[in-house]
């Protein structure tokens, strides 16, 4: 059984050593799933696994954790990527196969993950994009309008400016979303190569 599966299937326990093991598993999982090309993002220590956090949320709403909810939670948190509901559906079993989840259940469960504080969602290019929130630091994005790549980054200077602007307007900033639209280096290079070939 893989580390991520152990982390997801863990349950809250009053025993301190088991709680410490759960936190350790969570932190090791996050380190493993941070984007390799962005060393600025570091995991945030959390006291519960995503499964524990979600079960706590469901209990507060008087709901139970179904097999489909668990399957979707495990699938989403076994990888680190930005995705929309259609992309998630493409990765799941199709109708007639074992563990099939209907489109309406996917949409409803993704909203529950957002409400539980596990995922963030934002609109980008006419679609709703989801990303990990729980156990993940505040960050912003560079968005390539050609290949639709999202690059995550953190900036203390940006946070400082945000707080200064909020202070000037006597506003209490809690969070923000900042997406810089442009062309990534790979697309810029391929565009340059195309221009050179056109001249030949």
The gap between the terminal CA atoms of the chain, to the nearest Å, is 56
- Pick the closest to residue 82 from 128, 118, 40, 43 (CA basis): 128
Closest by CA to 110, choosing from 102, 119, 101, is 119
Q: Do domains 1-137 and 138-200 have the same CATH topology?
A: no
Domain boundaries, the chain: 1-137, 138-200
- Placement of tokens 């989840």 in the chain: 101
**Tokens representing residue 59 in the block:** 């209990």
Candidate CATH numbers 3.40.50.2000, 1.10.3720.10, 3.30.1490.190, 3.30.470.20; the one for domain 138-200: 3.30.1490.190
Question: pLDDT band for position 192 (50/70/90)?
Answer: confident
Structure tokens that stand for 27 in this block: 């932190």
Name the percent of the chain lying above pLDDT 90.
64
Percent of the chain with pLDDT over 70: 75
* Domain 1-137 part of CATH 3.40.605.10: no
In this prediction the pTM is: 0.72
Q: What would the pLDDT profile of 13-35 be if each residue is shown by its tens digit?
A: 334 444 444 444 444 433 433 34
Distance CA 6, CA 24 (A): 12
CB 25 within 8 A of CB 3: yes
């Amino acid at each position: 059984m893989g580390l991520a599966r152990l982390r997801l299937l863990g349950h809250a326990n009053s025993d301190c050593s088991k709680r410490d093991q759960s936190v350790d598993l969570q932190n090791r999982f996050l380190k493993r799933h941070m984007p390799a090309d962005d060393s600025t993002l570091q995991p945030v220590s959390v006291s519960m696994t995503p499964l524990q956090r979600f079960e706590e949320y469901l209990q507060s709403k008087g709901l139970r954790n179904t097999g489909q909810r668990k399957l979707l939670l495990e699938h989403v948190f076994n990888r680190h990527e930005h995705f929309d509901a259609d992309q998630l559906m493409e990765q799941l079993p199709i109708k007639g196969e074992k563990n099939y989840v209907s489109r309406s259940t996917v949409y409803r469960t993704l909203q529950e993950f957002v409400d539980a504080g596990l995922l963030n969602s934002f609109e980008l290019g006419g679609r709703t994009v989801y990303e990990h929130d729980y156990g993940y630091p505040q960050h912003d994005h560079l968005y390539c309008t050609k290949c639709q790549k999202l690059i995550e980054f953190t900036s203390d200077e940006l946070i400082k400016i945000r707080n200064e602007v909020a202070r000037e307007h006597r506003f209490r900033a809690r969070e923000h979303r900042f997406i810089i639209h442009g062309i990534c280096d790979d697309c810029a290079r391929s565009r340059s190569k195309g221009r050179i070939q056109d001249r030949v």
